[in-house]
Structure 1
């Protein structure tokens, strides 16, 4: 378990009284978490302060892709977007809508409005079906036909799409889903895969996707169906023609077209790009501190509080949800505004019960290689079923954060 994940789990665990889960469930969840090189949990309970310089301041076949021009739409809100439980504040704290589900898992900016990924719990992965709704700029909630499980999703705020990867008959396929038409816009076959979890980003006509553990990364033009290798270190944070990667151990932002290094800093951590790609938040895993950099100029703004307390607006501002207000700050000028917020009173969603099928381990001393082999070759192992019951409660989710990492 990485240091970052340990810190996150320790923070979330304070004050919780969780019954011991079934050992098999722990093994399954542990295996799943090992696949993720980052895990982000949004939680916030105090007001925000920005500090500057020390002072407060066409559906296609698998052989290709065609798509109609993007439909005309209203630009997404530039106010804070967040959710508590199943209540989504889609245009600042003064505009909310309820999705017909128990909990929101993550929020995606699109040109058609906010796409909500929800389910029986707020967990980033696992826990059953992932169901989707589109909240339009006017507040209408449109339930989508899209349902996925145990996969990663991404969006581009300038387009009405959600992208994800899917393993179909041993082949990795990139799916681009149109939230307005409520149907697939493209499905492109990338190549053979042995996994079912695929980190990705979508930026314009290109989907950048990682093929599981060791299957390589690819740049997929989802409109013409072409697939090219992507030789950078990450596909997690790509937006506005910029990619957050690591070069010689240093957090770096590059130009996706030329590969030119636009911004690089010494020290621990990684860059989290704004949805428009203009800004990059440096998340320091060791200290828990963060700064926001202007990618073009290299100037920086320090943020108060934990990095995961901050979300992004669609136009690259940062925001934080406090006990009684929401503070939104412009990282270029340092100007901040606040708006009142009242946390909604929601019913307890109740515990989540999951049933797992796991490889049987007679002496309980089986190592990771044993389980990995069983998952890769199910017919070589005996399997047993077990049940896990986990507490479930309303949680805060901030737009612009990579909860699925």
Structure 2
């Protein structure tokens, strides 16, 4: 792939509401309230910091903190006993100096506390009140049962923004999972996503042609080698369609996530696994997916499990899981050697003929679908 090929800034995937039972206006009001409360809280955080700075500067300028009495010098301390050292500190003058210091410190502390209440106290009270309102608004936002994938996307973005730099609390993740399950339960089962699936097929075919181009087939023009521009135009147009089309099914949403995940990595191994729909292959230690990419991957794996581990690019005419069940019953074994799927059987046995017949049913596309299904179910062994 040409790393310098121009790519459009896709932005968030727009998806229309699909669950009219809950008012979108209610969600919009909750989001607006949360945004307002969050903005006000952050304004007061800044205001509190500024008030604290003004207070410290004022105290330092007008009433510096009392200093401790200077210590009595002990030039020959190495040759003095503990009693002699204590006797030096125990003079009436030294005692009086420390007593005066403690009185001055207590008076200064009381003055400082009173001045802090006057200069900082009001804004501190506003800050604390705003924090409580911000937390309440955030809890209301997380717990609200969203009515569409658009709202779910917005909720996830707001939650991740709130936890930026920190792990998302399990109860927040659980609330989002509840949204996903509910939206899946009410999704129109027969609506289909023909536009998204057709665009996905065009994208897959263009990538296949692009990947088959020779590494060096002439000078580049505008960042593209000969033959690349045509394929990238097809890919860009297909991805634009996928990004702007409303998904009606889990499969359609998975395709949208799959394209987004593709652009979240720079690893050829990851790109290949994403294109194949081999999501489990991405859960390896050396994957270069960042945190947002890992979240998209988790969503894809979760959605795949909801539809029986059916790969995104698996056509309905061939059921890889049924084929695997038949081959397994006949004693077939599966493993990957040199990045190719091998299907073995005991030579000379009656079942080997069944496995051979099943193997003959697989063209390149079906073999890849079987490999994807095996990987999704954790049944694929890769030889070192």
Q: TM-score, normalising length from structure 1?
A: 0.19
The structure where strand makes up a greater share of residues is 1
Larger Rg: 2
Relative contact order, higher structure (CA 8 A, sep 6+) = 1
Q: TM-score, normalising length from structure 2?
A: 0.20
